[in-house]
Amino acid sequence: MQIKKTIITSLVFWSILVLFTQCNTTKTKEIRTNDSRTEIQQDKVVNYAKKQIGVRYKYAGNTPKTGFDCSGYTKYVYAHFNYTLPRRSIDYTNVGTKVNVKDCKKGDILLFTGSNKHKRITGHLGIVVSNKKGTIKFLHASSSRGVVISDMSISYFKDRILGARRIIK
């Protein structure tokens, strides 16, 4: 009788242990799946954005055929993935989630002043391509070069950065 009780108690204990272990594993897998879905979406957005490299700059332009300005380019890229974003760069100030520039990730949107760095309102945008050890590269529609990848370490951009916004979650 005592042996039966011990065996039953052991079985119950191990069953509960296995059950809790599986619940914890499932939760961990869900988190990893969500992280990986986000990373896949970030890659898709950046890869699509890169396909526009070389498209000429056009004030108020919003298609590869006519050319892009910075907000037209950003809106065009994200619209391809069913994100609705503003048409004007100044309207990006409260879009998505605010992130520290040093913590920005692929697919985040960088906000810059326009050509007057002393006027501290958003006048230019870029899409982060990478952030490796603080070296940030981003895509944008440059008024002189069209859609290009630039480096944040260039003083022109460092002096004009206002913040970053996360759209892909």
Residue type, 12: V
Give strand pairing partners of 131: 136
Euclidean distance between CA atoms 87 and 93, whole angstroms: 12
Q: For residue 95, what is the DSSP state?
A: S
Of 12-21, 43-52, 108-117, the range with the lowest mean pLDDT is: 12-21
Of the candidates 23, 70, 80, 118, the residue annotated as catalytic is 70
**Percent of the chain at pLDDT above 70?**
80
Q: Tell me the per-residue pLDDT of 6-15, one tens digit each, with 9 for 90 and over.
A: 444 554 444 4
Give strand pairing partners of 161: 112
Q: For residue 46, what is the DSSP state?
A: H
For domain 45-166, the CATH superfamily is endopeptidase domain like (from Nostoc punctiforme) (3.90.1720.10)
Answer with the residue of higher pLDDT: 10 or 118.
118
Euclidean distance between CA atoms 90 and 94, whole angstroms: 9
Of 24-28, 123-127, 159-163, the range with the lowest mean pLDDT is: 24-28
Q: 118 an active-site residue? A: no
Q: 70 an active-site residue? A: yes
Domain locations along the chain: 45-166
Label residue 153 exposed, middle or buried (CB < 10 Å: 0-12, 13-18, 19+): exposed
Q: 124 an active-site residue? A: yes
For residues 13-42, b (16+ Cβ closer than 10 Å) or e, as one string?
eeeeeeeeeeeeeeeeeeeeeeeeebeebb
Residue type, 159: D
Average pLDDT over residues 10-31: 39
Of the candidates 23, 104, 118, 140, the residue annotated as catalytic is 140
**Quick one: pLDDT at residue 1?**
55
Of the candidates 23, 104, 118, 124, the residue annotated as catalytic is 124
**Quick one: pLDDT at residue 92?**
98
pTM of structure:
0.80
